[in-house]
Amino acid sequence: MEKLKKRSWAEPFKIKVVEPLKMTSRVDRQRALEEAGYNTFLLRSEDVYIDLLTDSGTNAMSDYQWAGMMLGDEAYAGSKNFYHLEATMQKYYGYKYLVPTHQGRGAEHLISRILIKPGDFIPGNMYFTTTRLHQELAGGTFVDVIIDEAHDPTNLHPFKGNVDLQKLESLVTRVGPKKVPYISVAVTVNMAGGQPVSMENLRQVYSFCSNHGIKVILDATRAVENAFFIKIREKGYESKSIAEILKEMCSYSDGCTMSGKKDLLVNIGGFLAVNDYDVFEEARNMVVVYEGLHTYGGLAGRDMEAMARGIEEAVQEDHIKARIGQVEYVGEKLQSIGIPIVLPIGGHAIFLDARRFLPHLKQIEFPAQTLAAELYLESGIRSMERGIVSAGRNKETGDHHYPKLELVRLTFPRRVYTQAHCDVTAEAVEAVYENRSRVKGLKMVYEPKYLRFFQARFEPLS
Ligand SMILES: *Cc1c(COP(=O)(O)O)cnc(C)c1O
């Protein structure tokens, strides 16, 4: 008998509750896709087999978190869960003040309204949809200062999320530091493929900005995943704990926005955290108008408790190792069969490179949107477009933004799917790849004004 030599990792949990999945036929899926206007956001979840649309709010909570839900203190003011959340944020993220919000964009709204004056410029390491929109609605102009490598899906730079200090400096020189209230630094960079920022880069950005009176606001939504990449890729951090690395990352910033629906292992929740008392004071006033009183910010007490417990679980080494390990497992499988994906494999998702997958389609034929629709039709697996549809329109010219990257994101919810689901996913992508030359593009037949990728509708080109 042969011996198994390899020692595989496995999920550091066992399954206590199951949710059955519905199997569908190709005919069912064709009908569902037409009803959804070829937009995977508009599919009914019931018609989806493996849902890789997003890792946002799709986490499986632990028994410890569910137990915490029963300890919800639903007082209108001063819930004990708020104080627990505040103390836990202070312990792991290190900021002084906390304002809870219903999710990440609630925090983005507050910080944009407080810090941005019309005519200001807000640099960022690649845009995120809701982040940029809130900056624009507050009268600001987003300026991309990510390193060029981030726009090249084949470049193997280990920290493709890094800020290009030259680009940052030339912006500040051009418009003057007074017109740059803060830089928004995403760790990791979702839109670049879940690519991390190095500690060295965070340190340099903070030092440059401090010297010019510019604040650094982290988008800390995926900061734990970023901390894991620092641990395995950056010299000097191999033997530090994830919690230590996370805290050091935050120390090079003045505050953060957080969507708890990602790293923090909950289904809803977020917060704004800052060190500056005046900013906190204003956020605490404003949150009452848009979210709810400053001790609940649109959340139930039980939601805040689950998020506090999620903060603790998120930094556990075996959790984050398996989380990123699962994504890597799928990515390596796809790579081994020649599927074009964004490299290096990022933290939360595999990004199929639709330009190389469907080279016969023009960008205006929506290659990534098309590929996401085809994958659903083939297998019932739901993914999402991250390309020209997500990029939206230029608010001056009215034309589409034409992003370099035309990607389909396969995003893995935390602690939800098994390795067998991962295998099925890779097999489905392979099947679409084998028939790729037959795939035709789409045309857009309905376009909403804001964040169009959520609700746009398409029809196949004949
Ligand atoms: C999801 C996300 C947001 C927005 O958070 P919501 O909870 O969806 O409002 C902001 N930034 C990043 C990097 C995200 O992934």
What is the tens place of the pLDDT at every residue in 75-113?
999 999 999 999 999 999 999 999 999 999 999 999 999
Of the pLDDT bands very low, low, confident and very high (cuts 50, 70, 90), residue 2 is low
**Does residue 219 have an active-site annotation?**
yes
Catalytic residue, from 219, 254, 263, 303: name it.
219
Q: How many other CB atoms sit within 10 Å of the CB of residue 362? A: 8
DSSP state of 1: -
Q: State the pLDDT at residue 106.
A: 97
- 125 in contact with ligand 1, CB cutoff 6 A: no
What mean pLDDT do residues 358-382 have? 97
The answer on pLDDT for 451 being more than 90 is no
What distance in angstroms lies between residue 222's CA and the mean position of ligand 1's atoms? 9
> Start-end ranges of CATH 3.40.640.10 in the chain?
63-314
What mean pLDDT do residues 157-174 have? 98
**Cross-strand partners of 341:** 352
Q: Which two tokens stand for residue 141?
A: 């102009």
What mean pLDDT do residues 372-381 have? 98
The CATH code of the domain at 63-314 is 3.40.640.10
Contact of 166 with 151, CB cutoff 8 Å: no
Ligand 1 atom closest to the Cα of residue 57 is 7
Share of the chain above pLDDT 70, in %: 100
What distance in angstroms lies between residue 283's CA and the mean position of ligand 1's atoms? 19
Q: State the pLDDT at residue 1.
A: 60
What mean pLDDT do residues 200-212 have? 98
3-state secondary structure of 149: helix
Burial (0-12, 13-18, 19+ Cβ within 10 Å), 83: middle
The answer on pLDDT for 198 being more than 90 is yes
What mean pLDDT do residues 114-124 have? 98
3-state secondary structure of 143: strand
- 39 in contact with ligand 1, CB cutoff 6 A: no
Catalytic residue, from 128, 159, 280, 417: name it.
128
Burial (0-12, 13-18, 19+ Cβ within 10 Å), 253: buried
CA 114/CA 220 separation, integer angstroms:
19
Ligand 1 atom closest to the Cα of residue 189 is 13
Q: Which two tokens stand for residue 399?
A: 């034309």
> Start-end ranges of CATH 3.90.1150.10 in the chain?
26-55+317-460
- Closest Cα to atom 14 of ligand 1: 221
pLDDT tens by residue, 294-334: 999 999 999 999 999 999 999 999 999 999 999 999 999 99
**Does residue 262 have an active-site annotation?**
yes
- Closest Cα to atom 6 of ligand 1: 104
3-state secondary structure of 255: strand
Task: Tell me which of 126, 130, 226, 386 to substitute to probe ligand 1's pocket, judged by most ligand atoms within 8 Å of the beta carbon.
Answer: 130
CA 61/CA 409 separation, integer angstroms:
23
Residue 450, phi then psi, degrees to nearest 5: -110, 145
- Closest Cα to atom 12 of ligand 1: 221
- 56 in contact with ligand 1, CB cutoff 6 A: yes
- 127 in contact with ligand 1, CB cutoff 6 A: no
Handedness of CA 144, 146, 149, 154 (dihedral sign): negative
What's the mean per-residue pLDDT of the chain?
96
- 185 in contact with ligand 1, CB cutoff 6 A: no
Ligand 1 atom closest to the Cα of residue 54 is 1
Give the DSSP H/E element, type plus range, for residue 375: helix 367-379
CATH 3.90.180.10 fits 26-55+317-460, yes or no: no
E runs forming strands in 160-228: 182-186, 215-219
What distance in angstroms lies between residue 104's CA and the mean position of ligand 1's atoms? 5
Rounded CA Rg of the chain: 22
CA 46/CA 51 separation, integer angstroms:
10
- 103 in contact with ligand 1, CB cutoff 6 A: yes
